[in-house]
Amino acid sequence: YRDMVLVRRIDTEATSLQRQGELGLWPPLLGQEAAQIGSARALRPSDFVFSSYRENAVAWCRGVGFADLMRVWRGNAAGGWDPYAVNMAPTQVIIGAQALHAAGYAMGIAQDGADDAAISYFGDGATSQGDVNEAMVFAASFQAPVIFFCQNNQWAISEPVGLQAAIPLANRAPGFGIPSIRVDGNDVLAVLAATREALDRARSGGGPTFIEAVTYRMGPHTTADDPTRYRDAAEVDHWRLRDPITRLG
C-alpha cells in the first residue's frame, strides 16, 4: 500500500514538473500501480527487469531514486540509472523491443545454469508488434526462464484493445507453447500471486509464462496526449471505481 501511494505521489509530481517545463515529457502510470508493484515485489534482486517507458513503479521497487526516475525525461541523459546496480535495463521507447532483450538474457541465465529469471513489461499495443511475438518464439523453443508481463491498460495511445485483439491477449501465448494467465491487474495481491507462480515455473526449468494484467490507464498516454479526444469520460469514471489504491485500502 505504501509503495502504491508513494509511486502515485511521484507520478503526480513528475506530471506537474513537465507542465512547469522542467521535464520534456512524462509517461503517467496512474491506475496501473497494482500491476507494476505487485509483480515487482515478487522478484528477487538477482532477477533482471526489461521494461518499457512507463514502469516507473517497477524501477522504484528495484531501488531507483526519485531524481534518477526523472533524469532521462529532462532530455540530458541517455539513461536514468546504472542497470547493473539495480538489475533493471534502461527504459525502452521502441515498442516491444525489450521482450527480445529479456528472452535473450533469460537464455543466458539457462546457459549459466542459474535459477534467476528475466521479466519483460509491455503494454497491450506491443502484443501486435513483431518483436514480442519473435521473443515468445525463442523463449518457448529454448524454455527460457522469462516472464512476459503485459499490462493491458485498454488503450495503445488512441487505439482500443478491442480493435487489435478479438480474443483476450493471454489467449495468444498458448499458440507459442507458453502457459498464460489473465489476472485482475488492479488487485495487487492477485498480481503478486500470479507473478510468484510464474517465477516458480521459470526457476524450476518450466520455461516462460505470459501474464496479462487487466488494468486501466486513467491518465494520458504521455503528457503530450489528450485522451479526451478519443475516449469517453464515463469509461474513465467506470475504472476510477476500481482504483487499485482504494481497493487495497
Active site residues: 217, 221, 230
Alpha-carbon distance 120 to 81, whole Å? 18
Per-residue H/E/C for the chain: CHHHHHHHHHHHHHHHHHHCCCCCCCCCCCCCHHHHHHHHCCCCCCCEEECCCCCHHHHHHCCCCHHHHHHHHHCCCCCCCCHHHHCECCCCCCCCHHHHHHHHHHHHHHHHCCCCCEEEEEEHHHHHCHHHHHHHHHHHHCCCCEEEEEEECCEECCEEHHHHCCCCHHHCHHHHCCCEEEEECCCHHHHHHHHHHHHHHHHCCCCCEEEEEECCCCCCCCCCCCHHHCCCHHHHHHHHCCCHHHHHC
End-to-end CA distance of the chain: 7
Contact, 36 vs 58, CB < 8 A?
Answer: yes
Cell of 55: 514502469
